[in-house]
Copies of this chain bind each other. A is one copy, B any other.
Amino acid sequence: MTEVRIEGVGTMNEESGEDRVVGRHVYANLYDVDRETLANEELLRNSVIKAAELANMTLVEIKSWTFGGKKGGVSVIAIVEESHIALHTWVEYNYATVDIYTCGDKGDPWKAFDYLLNVLKPRKYKVGYADRSSL
């Protein structure tokens, strides 16, 4: 697996009970993923639920869809309190993207990311980080 870590935007903050919103957003493009995995809605849905758990996110609702056609694939969206996980796949392009956006001191998006990476096993990926905190 080749990792290309693209430039992050913002920095991780040490949090010591600060009175502000702390948001962390990990987003990645996953290339060269096996098609069986990308088409398996149930596997992907369950994996997003597990990823949310590992990242200490409080799940509010999970939704998933399978889209047909040449650019078809699966979308899974987990709504967690005031943030989300979004996974989209394109089966014929062996391609997927993932967004893990956690909110608050207790959430760790990297734990969810590592888990999903292990499920999807891309041969190459790019990952970025954005600070979504209030001022």
Residues of A within 8 A of B (CB): 6-7, 9-10, 20-21, 23, 25, 27, 29, 31, 60-61, 63, 65, 67, 71, 73, 75, 77, 79, 81-84, 86, 88, 90, 93-95, 97, 99, 101, 103-104, 124, 128, 130, 132-135
Contacts and interface: CB of A to CB of B under 8 A. Distances in A.
Given A25-B27, A60-B75, A75-B83, 17 more contacts: A6-B10, A9-B9, A9-B128, A21-B95, A29-B133, A31-B134, A31-B135, A65-B79, A67-B82, A75-B79, A75-B82, A77-B84, A84-B88, A86-B101, A95-B135, A99-B99, A99-B101
A6, A23, A73, A132, most chain B CB atoms within 10 A: A132
30 contacts: A6-B10, A7-B7, A9-B9, A9-B128, A21-B71, A21-B90, A23-B97, A27-B130, A29-B132, A29-B133, A31-B134, A60-B75, A63-B63, A65-B79, A71-B82, A71-B103, A71-B104, A75-B79, A75-B84, A77-B84, A82-B88, A83-B88, A84-B86, A86-B101, A88-B103, A90-B134, A93-B134, A95-B134, A97-B101, A124-B135
